[in-house]
Amino acid sequence: MEKLEKIDATEKGRNYRILLILSVFIFTVPFWAGLIPGSILHMDIVNLMVLAGTYACAVIGLNLLVGYAGQISLGHAAFFGIGAYTTAILCTRMAWFPTWLGVILGGLVAGIIGWLVGVPVLRLKGHYLAMATLGLGEIAFILFTQLKGLTGGTLGILNIPSLSIFGLEFDTEFKLYFLIWAVVMLMMLLSINIICSRVGRALRALHSSDDAAEAMGINTARYKTMIFVLSAVFAGIGGALFAHFLNYIDPASFTFFLSILFITMVVIGGMGNIWGGLVGVIFLIFLPEVIQGLPHWIPLVPESLTNFGNYELVVYGLLLILFMMYMPKGIAFGLSRGTSYAKTKFGHLRDRISARKYEGH
Amino acid sequence: MSEQDMLDIDGVTKMFGGLAALKEVSFSVNRGEIKGLIGPNGAGKTTLFNVLTGVYRPNAGSITLNGSSVTGLRPDQITSMGMIRTFQTIQLFEGMTVLENTMVGCHTWTRSGLFSSGLKLPGARREEEKIREESMVILKDVGLDTRPGEQGTNLPYGQQRMLELARALASRPDILLLDEPAAGLNQYETGELSQLLLSLREQGLTILLVEHDMGLVMKVSNEVVVLDYGKVIARGTPDEVQNDPKVIEAYLGIEAD
Ligand SMILES: Nc1ncnc2c1ncn2[C@@H]1O[C@H](COP(=O)(O)OP(=O)(O)OP(=O)(O)O)[C@@H](O)[C@H]1O
Ligand SMILES: [Mg+2]
């Protein structure tokens, strides 16, 4: 039985190790980010990473839904927005309202709405589910714009207070960075545990075949709803953190474009790869910045690249197509292939070196 | 129906448009027996399995499992009540290992949910260990314990069939519905399968066996039911059925086409 424990445990153990190493890395970033020639690239790394962290919450959940359970959502910006508006409304209307509670309620409200929407919508499959979730995103956007009394309409909500938890103020990017990435890492830990569990197996099973999963006693409708709600909660928390980070929100932050960006992040990072969400978020948050920065430090690169925002969508669309065609498992899969390749190469090298040593003796 | 019936099928009719795939099919499966279900291609055997397991709703008739009605219940509910099936066309879970496929089968008797799994609470951890141990024991029983980390869909055809059987057994069923488990198996594998079925019966499992391999059916079945054009045309011991003129005609009639 010992041999067996390993088969299953290695994957999980490996993921825990990666999570630990990644956490150490992520939490040191703010200390050395200022030292690298970031100014050349005209990037504020800490600022971008905080934004990436809020998006990561949504994308990690979306990867569970799309990558593992095989259910599409083209409307997750709705949940991100619902989380943001929930805490923004509560904390600006009532100055005494604890911001941390606003974030939790943001996740909760997004989850409840996710449940109300998910129960009917998840009966649909493929294109129909895609269209329905697309509609969800549009309706949410219209409500954010039209419920002026509550949301402030197109002007949005200003002066959202910074996060504070029991007197601990997260009023600078530097401080917020640690809080947000702690939340992201916690979500990663939850995801790893879920994927390697009874629930995770049920989700992967229904992804493969609804009929076969049901024949195994899995209530597919219930599990689809469950993971949809969880992904909505993650997105809602991400949105709430986003609101407290920018201190200002308006409907333009939660459009169809954001839903597509989330999906693109999942696909490019790696659908059904536990690290795919994170990789996709960081890649796509930094890509435009790097491209816009190119003209500043490489001569002869056309100035027009600084207007990347104008053709951002085209580039994302192209990336989506190219990845679907040539790298459907995403960057994260490529990375893990790369490291195992490097390991075997390095291993050979090490063997050769030690072999030579022995010859020398 | 009598006390000892595991499964009672009463007047089940299933229409596909104008075609009656099943016409008032009635028979019962006794506790602890292997019942063979045979019939020419298109007789309605798989359709009966689909009706029994809740994939299709019958147009008429009722199905009673272990004394309680399962007519109109969802497939997952019926499986949880102790009746599980395998598929005529293999349906293993893609991207999952041999062990994981079997572990999915344990879904029915385990309870860990999103919270206890996500937080790795002690209960979920213990349950996970139990699932893994039991799955491995079952894989050993069907002779698939050598490479549990292999992708299920990468196994040779015959072993994929055995893995489907293992996955079904992992649910701790009372009654097993097998849809042509010997299809595609070589002679040696078929022999192993018949040994396995007999030992499962020994352990008290009830089995409804759809199979075209007459040698296998006649060897392991206590009783055989014959279906033709959606109707039960004969039933009895393997010997009785084999010598029944109606059965011979049904099979010869098909062959003469
Ligand atoms: N979903 C369906 N829609 C329409 N007709 C169907 C459907 N499923 C089965 N049938 C028809 O019902 C009849 C019985 O089919 P079924 O698959 O149950 O036969 P079978 O006894 O399992 O045959 P085989 O031995 O070839 O597996 C056939 O005529 C088939 O074409
Ligand atoms: Mg059939």
Summarize pLDDT for A29-81 with one digit per residue, the tens.
Answer: 888 887 776 555 667 889 999 999 999 999 999 999 999 999 999 999 999 99
Contact B108 A217 (CB under 8 A): yes
Q: What is the ipTM of this complex?
A: 0.94
| The predicted structure's pLDDT at residue B3 | 63
| The predicted structure's pLDDT at residue B257 | 43
How far from chain centre, in Å, is Cα A42? 24
| The predicted structure's pLDDT at residue A43 | 75
Q: Is A193 on the interface with B (CB under 8 A)?
A: yes
Using the predicted structure, report yes or no on whether residue B120 has a pLDDT greater than 90: yes
User: Mean pLDDT, to the nearest integer, of A285-303?
Assistant: 78
Q: Nearest C-alpha to atom 26 of ligand 1 is from which residue? A: B41
| The predicted structure's pLDDT at residue A37 | 65
* Full-model pTM: 0.92
| The predicted structure's pLDDT at residue B256 | 42
Using the predicted structure, report yes or no on whether residue A2 has a pLDDT greater than 70: no
Cα dist from B219 to A61, A83, B223, whole Å: 53, 64, 10
Contact A204 B93 (CB under 8 A): yes
Name which of A8, A199, A211 is nearest B113 (Cβ-Cβ). Answer: A199
Contact A193 B118 (CB under 8 A): yes
Using the predicted structure, report yes or no on whether residue A8 has a pLDDT greater than 60: no
Mutate to test the interface with B, among A1, A198, A214 (most CBs of B within 10 A): A198
Residue A9 — very low, low, confident or very high, per pLDDT cuts 50/70/90?
A: very low
| The predicted structure's pLDDT at residue A304 | 74
Residue B186 — very low, low, confident or very high, per pLDDT cuts 50/70/90?
A: very high
Rounded Cα gap, residues A288 and B219, in angstroms: 70
Highest mean pLDDT among A107-111, A162-166, B2-6: A107-111
**Which two three-digit tokens encode residue A7?**
């088969």
Mutate to test the interface with A, among B65, B70, B93, B96 (most CBs of A within 10 A): B93
From chain B, pick out residues whose CB is under 8 angstroms from the CB of A61. Answer: none
| The predicted structure's pLDDT at residue A12 | 73
Name which of A190, A217, A272 is nearest B79 (Cβ-Cβ). Answer: A217
User: Mean pLDDT, to the nearest integer, of B142-158?
Assistant: 94
Using the predicted structure, report yes or no on whether residue B210 has a pLDDT greater than 70: yes
Contact B103 A197 (CB under 8 A): no
Q: Nearest C-alpha to atom 6 of ligand 1 is from which residue? A: B16
Min Cα separation B154/chain A (Å): 15
Contact B105 A219 (CB under 8 A): no
3-state secondary structure of B180: coil
Q: What b/e readout covers B13-51, taking b as 16+ CB neighbours within 10 angstroms?
A: bbeeeeebbbbebebbbebbbbbbbbbbeebbbbbbbbb
Residue A327 — very low, low, confident or very high, per pLDDT cuts 50/70/90?
A: confident
